[in-house]
Structure 1
């Protein structure tokens, strides 16, 4: 038993652990706006003259606005220290997030301004946390730090969603009081967060386009395409699982929320254990993640009962936890340290684009293949898509491993020849 507790303590032991405190704060606020979906119904009453589609834009604007923010973060990182970019992002999020608190009855345009500010701030903040982790820790420690950060992101979103629901009971604008939490995170960033390194410029008078060539190497381009489609398929589960349960008459919104909660818990646990998992699976970590995602999608698609669909949710949660962390982990190991921030920024932009295009592409494929759209068909297409990604990534991993083995054998033979000489 003592050896077990010793092993657990050693697993959670991490160098520079205090740096994770502000980083977990970043993780909390770089995607928190999705937690406000629970007040959309109240907003339709607050803005009776505004269409439902326009109200729904309040949730969809921040992810779109985060794309230019993410790209801007990558560009600025060559000129401004990461600490200052993160603090500026927190200020933008705070200003935008507190608009409904300061103005008790804001116009719909003021709400759009709130969404844009929060979105741009989230876009600026997200690459900073991941880039700092990738430049501070290496190998297994990096995997652990990314996993811990992602786990806090999952559990933080759930806690914020709970706070939003209770705060909005008196007045919907009170839900935005959660953005007051940005203040202590800003202070902790000032006290605990190091300045960070300046990134390598993609284009300069001295090196010309060397930075661009170093960033968009073949392996990086492959990962951008891989994660673009991976996020496109991933988004299908979130946008179709509720409709699947409703269309089959298997449960209520409460039952759907239980499935979503289960996915969050499983992904949270995967985040904590990711360092050990990636150490065991090695290069096949992402391939394994795609396998679980494909299994989850297909089980949910053909699930005849709520219990089977929930099982699909568990499998999906395992794959989700692996894919979300592996995205940053793989990219960080592909480029040199001085290009990590811009590489993550470009990757996150491609991922956001994949999520945005997901409904259009998946519904279009359904029309072509089935002649109509249905939630189970969308999940089926996503499952088949993940099988394709699993095969592609698996073959790519085998090829790279064979090349690496051949290179090591060649170096060993050269060393023996030198000894003979």
Structure 2
């Protein structure tokens, strides 16, 4: 009884550290709020160069995700959390003080913020997999997803208020890493460095990382990230094409719907994982494809309701796919392969986000298409991905989570 109580206290402490860190996971998106101000401040730079200041955070998040593999064997999870927060804080400090004076230093700021943000998701995935199992694993992942979703809604609102003070103040968002550092120092236990299993205490046992299941999930993660970003990056343009003068505000309403369905997906995760098992990830991709096709036909104001329905479908589908992955990856991969599995999965997803302008937007522009063509193309890609996910379900398994 006493041992069980101690484990519960340990899990509670780790949960606090994980949730406070994951709430920051999407805070990098606030940099997009000041792109117009940066363009005005630095007219000598091409617009494409200024836009790269934000894109760099996403690109470097890929590096951060892969860096987690190297760091895990050299640092404790607590030290990795502190390094993550220090990187983001340093980027925020540089961004705030150099916003009006140096574009190169703004790129350095984005590099540091991006690497830190890229570390958060795989780091938390490892932390959860190491300390939770069964129903508690599902519950913790659901709470983790809710924390990230709430942060993705709250931080842009705070960022908008900070921009109203003075646009470089948006970098104050990253100063929130300071209280999270204090939380991490207080509640995150200092554990041993993660080590590969060893045979007879000598050479590390070779761990097979690239199983058929992981290969399939990494492919799905990349294309799901690609298609999700098509929705995310074109929302305001869609409302603008329909004649809405307050298109940015309408897009923000869509973001609230998307985030709300992400939360619902996370809170129903336990039921879905118990009832449907691993195939619920495939179901999430199918829902995304349906939602993207719905958006592709919304060419008149009379179909405004359908835009929000489609947004809800995409939000729920993507939420299920991403949340369930952190339940099923650790129970599918071999011991010692979890960190690399999480890192590859997250890196693929972020890489899909980063390449969307090049693979979708540029392709449609060369075709002479419109914003609706982007949605059609992404819907076709997501449909093909759905077929792939269904066809490879046997390779990934159909296990369910027990009560």
Which of structures 1 and 2 has the larger relative contact order (alpha carbons within 8 angstroms, sep 6+)? 2
Q: After the TM superposition, which residues 93-132 of structure 1 pair with which residues of structure 2 at under 5 Å, given as runs? A: 93-103=88-98, 105-132=100-127
Structure 1: where are the runs of 5+ without partners? 1-12, 405-421
1:34 aligns with 2:12: no
Q: After the TM superposition, which residues 191-340 of structure 1 pair with which residues of structure 2 at under 5 Å, given as runs? A: 191-196=186-191, 198-201=193-196, 210-211=206-207, 214-249=208-243, 252-303=247-298, 304=300, 305-340=303-338
1:47 aligns with 2:42: yes
Who is 1:142 aligned against? 137
Instruction: Kindly indicate whether the alpha-carbon contact (under 8 Å) linking 2:149 and 2:259 is maintained by their aligned counterparts in 1.
Output: yes
Q: Who wins on radius of gyration, i.e. which is larger? A: 1
Q: TM-score, normalised by structure 1?
A: 0.84
**2-structure distance, mates of 1:344, 1:203:** 22
Instruction: Give per-residue Cα distances to partners, 1:29-83, cap 9 Å, x unaligned.
Output: 2331112212222222332333322221121111111222221211120121111
Structure 2: where are the runs of 5+ without partners? 1-7
Q: Mark the CA change 1:197 to 1:339 in structure 2 (over 3 Å): closer, same or farther.
A: farther
1:359 aligns with 2:353: no
**2-structure distance, mates of 1:193, 1:302:** 49
Q: 2:155 aligns with which of 160, 165, 168?
A: 160
Instruction: Give per-residue Cα distances to partners, 1:283-323, cap 9 Å, x unaligned.
Output: 32112212211111111111242111111111111112112
Tell me how many residue pairs correspond in the alignment. Answer: 387
Cα displacement (A) at 1:366: 4.6
Q: TM-score, normalised by structure 2?
A: 0.87
**2-structure distance, mates of 1:202, 1:119:** 31
Secondary structure of 2:144 counterpart = helix
Instruction: Kindly indicate whether the alpha-carbon contact (under 8 Å) linking 1:62 and 1:119 is maintained by their aligned counterparts in 2.
Output: yes
Instruction: Kindly indicate whether the alpha-carbon contact (under 8 Å) linking 1:66 and 1:120 is maintained by their aligned counterparts in 2.
Output: yes
Cα displacement (A) at 1:140: 2.6
Secondary structure of 1:210 counterpart = coil
Who is 2:53 aligned against? 58
